[in-house]
Amino acid sequence: MRHTDPDGRRLAAVVHTTFFLLLCSSFARFLTRDQDGARAGWVVTLFAVFALLYVLGYVLAPAPTPGTAPTTRHLVWLGAVSTVWAVLLALAPSATWCAMPLLFAGLYALPPRIAVPLAAVLTALVVISEVRVSDGALNPNMVVAPPAIAAVATAVFVQLQRQAARQRVLIDDLVRTRRDLAATERRAGVLAERQRLSTEIHDTLAQGLSSQQMLLQAAERVWETDPEAARAHIGKAVGITSRGLAEARRFVHDLAPADLTGQSLPAALGALAERESGPGLTIDFRLDGDPGPLPERIEAALLRIAQGALANVREHAAATRAALTLTCLDDQVSLDVADNGRGFDAAALPSEPDRTRGHGLPAMRIRARQSGGALTVESMPGEGTVVSVAIPFSLKESVS
């Protein structure tokens, strides 16, 4: 029997060594005590054939691995070597204890419903052989000891086989569960990354393209009547294009928003308010408290939320004034975006992004939640809208 694991190799080495020790001992006993001149040649030949068959079985018909059915070649070898042993036992009772390695081979390779009867047959042959060569009164140990030893060995081996089978089932279930869990985690990771990419694109490239479209349409309307206004609109569109290109490059490299490069969050929000202000819409920025050094993820989230909220104001609110207010406390930073536009029914907001119209408020809510905060919307038809986001943070995190 061949094994690839160290424990299996050690067990096989012990079994093979035991077999050849018992074989040599049996052969020596035959030569010294049981030799019969008429049959000596046949017995010596059978001993040699027995040893050769055992070696050939190890080389050509190895035992199956645990949990797999024995091969036809191994079963043929087991039957052949058992038959040779039975014939040898009939001619030379000295070969009695060579049955132990055969018992092990049968129990190892065969299912219990076949291995147990085989063990019983081998044990019965051993008892018959011992009784046949006994002298004087019958020794009870000759009848009781072999079945007792065989019964204990068989029970232990069958129990070990069943435990091994249960362990294999548990291991298979564990491997399958881990595989399913890994697949679920991969799907969750893909969905989370897809959500992150979609919100990033919505807050950068999509908003920039929307603004460019509005400016170019405005330029087209006044191209003949007011060339100066048309050129101003085109100039703004060019500026938005430059910022969008910078955002796209930083987005590809997974960097922070371009507006946060080289300046603080209050400065970036102030620049955003100034940039989004224009004819018919004035946006003010207010700072309440000292923000100090904030984590980059919080700064990026607040800036993106501000961009998305102001894009909604510009596209949907029909407002004339809006205000960005950044409030900084010791363990929390909040951002309020308020406008005096037409407002809407906040209770009718969708909980998930609308694939036909973009992401908007649901995307802001997801971004706030991913940063550990929460976003709220207060609005009524005709009374404007206030979008508020509050994100807690620890001082240790801000310093790091």
Scored b (16 or more CB within 10 A) or e, 243-280 reads: bbeebbebbeeeeebbbbeeeebbebbbebbebbbeee
Mean pLDDT of the 336-348 span: 87
In terms of average pLDDT, the best of 144-158, 163-177, 187-201 is: 163-177
Residue 326 has pLDDT above 80, yes or no: yes
Which of 134-143, 323-332, 341-350 is predicted least confidently?
A: 134-143
Instruction: Report pLDDT for 34.
Output: 66
pLDDT digits (tens, 9 = 90+) for 209-268: 777 888 888 888 888 888 888 888 888 888 878 777 776 766 655 555 777 877 889 999
Phi, psi at residue 161, to the nearest 5°?
-65, -45
CB 215 within 8 A of CB 237: yes
Residue 324 has pLDDT above 60, yes or no: yes
Q: Kindly indicate the confidence band of residue 399, based on its pLDDT and cuts at 50, 70 and 90.
A: very low
Residue 66 has pLDDT above 70, yes or no: no
Instruction: Report pLDDT for 50.
Output: 84
Instruction: Report pLDDT for 283.
Output: 93
CA–CA gap between residue 158 and residue 21 (Å, rounded): 26
Describe the strand order of the beta sheet including 282-288 as a list of residue ranges: 282-288, 321-328, 332-339, 385-392, 374-379
Residue 236, token pair as written in the block: 């703004």
CB 100 within 8 A of CB 18: yes
> Tell me, what DSSP letter sits at residue 63?
P
Mean pLDDT of the 148-153 span: 78
The structure's pTM equals 0.46
> Tell me, what DSSP letter sits at residue 274?
H
More confident residue, 105 or 312: 312
Residue 304 has pLDDT above 70, yes or no: yes
Percent pLDDT > 70 in the chain is 83
Give the domain ranges of the chain.
6-138, 263-400
Residue 286 has pLDDT above 90, yes or no: yes
Which of 112-126, 130-144, 177-191, 220-234 is predicted least confidently?
A: 130-144
Cβ neighbours of residue 359 under 8 Å, at least 6 residues apart? 198, 199, 202, 308, 353
Instruction: Report pLDDT for 8.
Output: 66
The chain-wide mean pLDDT, for the chain, equals 79
Please tell me whether residue 358 adopts helix, strand or coil conformation. strand
CB 390 within 8 A of CB 332: yes
Residue 179, token pair as written in the block: 């595989």
Which CATH code for domain 263-400?
A: 3.30.565.10
> What is the CA 53 to chain-centroid distance, rounded?
48
pLDDT digits (tens, 9 = 90+) for 26-44: 888 888 876 666 677 888 8
DSSP track, 285-334? EEEES---SPPHHHHHHHHHHHHHHHHHIIIII--SEEEEEEEE-SSEEE
